[in-house]
Amino acid sequence: MEEMAKLRFLHIPKTAGSTFWRILRKQYKTGNCFKFTGRIAADKERYSALSEDEKKSIELFVGHAPLFSGIMEADQVPIITMLRDPVSRVKSYCQHVSEGKSLYLLEKYPPETFNLDEFLCSDNSELSNLQSRMLINYEANSAGLLIDTLTPDQIKRKSIDNLFNKVASYGLQEYFDDSLMMFTRKLGWCAPYYENVNRKNNSCLLTFERRHIDKIIELNPIDIELYRVAREAFIDTLLSDREFISSVEKFKRMQKFASPLIRVYRQTVRYIKRNYRAMQNVK
């Protein structure tokens, strides 16, 4: 099998990254990867502790780290990322926190007493212009970063410039299948059929009133402009190639059949593993 070129996936939270990560694991079958946790200093220390052979064996860098992570090997390989409509991304993040899935916020915002108005006014760093900031150098609860010295207009211009000149290829969550096919064409992947993961809990969905949407818009003016520019360029690229549009439509048709089959396969594998472990315990 032909060796895959080294790659980094810059995972911006709540942009279908969990599903995309599974797709990447399928493409990079060896599993030699380094996963960023979002804590820059700790990630650099963990990487530095690896042997030279371990570092050389890494084929894939993934996880929550800004564009310039501080790890030279990760910053010099081709970088891909996914963006999402900022209002949708923040709504998804609020839903995520309300379900108790963000462990560092669980004590302060337990699901039983989660208050959306309170959370949107909490100054949580992931609520405001996160996509733009991660395209520069962002870390939650950090200080002294370059981004702290920039004006909002400079952040906007720099994040847009980095997206088009530092990122090798990007996709949009709202055009997930189209994005997958763009990555496939540029990176030489095999057919990236997938199963959706990390679904929200439909039994306890938050209700977003007009005031909540207005607050999210107020918090994300830079991300909204970044996304507008990115979406415009993405659509222009998509519509400029009729042959590519045809390949995307074909993939979408096949994906409808593939997704339930993948789900059944994974459920079967989990069932077999559970029963095997149970048999081993009995012995």
From the list 95, 122, 124, the residue with the least C-alpha distance to 111 is 95
Positions of the chain with pLDDT lower than 50, given as ranges: 1, 139-144, 265, 269, 271, 276
- Let me know how many helices (H) and strands (E) the chain has, helices first: 12, 5
DSSP 33-58: EEEE-S-HHHHHHHHHTS-HHHHHH-
pLDDT at 279: 58
pLDDT at 138: 57
Helix (H) or strand (E) holding 282: helix 242-282
pLDDT at 84: 98
What is d(CA 123, CA 109) in angstroms, rounded to the nearest whole number? 14
From the list 46, 193, 199, 218, the residue with the least C-alpha distance to 120 is 218
pTM for the predicted model, two decimal places: 0.84
DSSP 179-245: HHHHHHHHHTPPP------S---GGG-----HHHHHHHHHH-HHHHHHHHHHHHHHHHHHHT-HHHH
Place of tokens 């009133």: 209
pLDDT at 144: 43
pLDDT at 220: 97
pLDDT, one tens digit per residue, over 29-73 is 766 899 998 888 899 999 999 999 999 999 999 999 999 888 999
Beta-bridged to residue 8, according to DSSP, are 61, 79
Q: Using DSSP, state whether 123 is helix, strand or coil.
A: coil
Q: Using DSSP, state whether 138 is helix, strand or coil.
A: coil
pLDDT at 3: 66
pLDDT at 254: 82
Q: Under a CB-based contact definition with an 8 Å cutoff, are residues 12 and 81 in contact?
A: yes
pLDDT at 199: 61
Kindly state the DSSP code that residue 60 receives in the 8-state scheme. E
What is d(CA 193, CA 26) in angstroms, rounded to the nearest whole number? 9
